[in-house]
A and B are shown apart, each in its own frame.
Chain A
């Protein structure tokens, strides 16, 4: 059974700092890995999708890497801003059945002005 772990559970940084969020998964037979952002009480906004054949994906100040063999992904946020404050979730679809997503419990990020 796939298990997804995110470390740290919470992170507080001053504005302008670069930061890294970590995600690990136990079953490396994945199609891809998706990073989401969730504001309090809201739905999920997709940030980046990395296919299993890719090593990294970039969008603006965000860069996500994937090391499938070691079961790890990182989300790098450059020059953090207060508007980046949210919970960040990583998710992987399993390769059987409905290909449903397994989620970590997220990292709650607070960027202090």
Chain B
């Protein structure tokens, strides 16, 4: 059973650019969530996808957007990058519902310069 995989592992972008991060969910998991973790903080919820539809969103601006594909993999897109977007981006997957807990990937470290 493969876990959650994220790519790339590290990324450096310039302010104003756009970035796409990718996540493959664990086998059998149809729900994917994205979290942003700033240094020294706990992860903050960005949004969640269930069966290709966004079904929840945290307090993040519209320039943070996402997709989920029929195989349940997902993308996180961030437009007009700002310096404060520098963080570790974590993807988590779960079977339907919150009762089964979440499995996290290793994250993508994004640095905006």
Interface of A toward B, CB cutoff 8 Å: 4, 31-32, 34, 36, 41-46, 49, 51, 89, 91, 93, 97-106
Give the interface size bracket for B toward A: 20 to 34
Proximity bits, B87-113, A CB within 8 Å = 1, else 0: 010101000011111111111010000
Q: Which residue of A lies closest to B108 (CB)?
A: A43
Interface of B toward A, CB cutoff 8 Å: 6, 33, 35, 40-45, 47-48, 50, 55-58, 88, 90, 92, 97-107, 109
Question: Given A43-B90, A43-B105, do A101 and B99 touch, yes or no (CB 8 Å)?
Answer: no
Q: In the complex the two chains form, what is the Cα distance from A99 to B94 in whole Å?
A: 11
Task: Determine whether the beta carbon of B42 is less than 8 Å from that of A89.
Answer: yes
Task: Determine whether the beta carbon of B41 is less than 8 Å from that of A105.
Answer: yes
* Contact sample, A vs B, 19 pairs, CB 8 Å cutoff: A31-B97, A32-B101, A43-B6, A43-B105, A43-B107, A45-B104, A89-B42, A97-B55, A98-B33, A98-B45, A98-B47, A98-B57, A99-B97, A100-B45, A101-B35, A101-B92, A101-B102, A105-B41, A105-B42
Q: In the complex the two chains form, what is the Cα distance from A31 to B98 in whole Å?
A: 7
Q: Which residue of B lies closest to A94 (CB)?
A: B98
Most buried by B among A41, A46, A100, A106: A100
Most buried by B among A45, A91, A97, A99: A99
Q: In the complex the two chains form, what is the Cα distance from A101 to B103 in whole Å?
A: 12
Question: Given A42-B107, A43-B90, A46-B103, do A93 and B98 touch, yes or no (CB 8 Å)?
Answer: yes
Q: Which residue of B lies closest to A99 (CB)?
A: B98
Q: Which residue of A lies closest to B107 (CB)?
A: A43
Task: Determine whether the beta carbon of A43 is less than 8 Å from that of B104.
Answer: yes
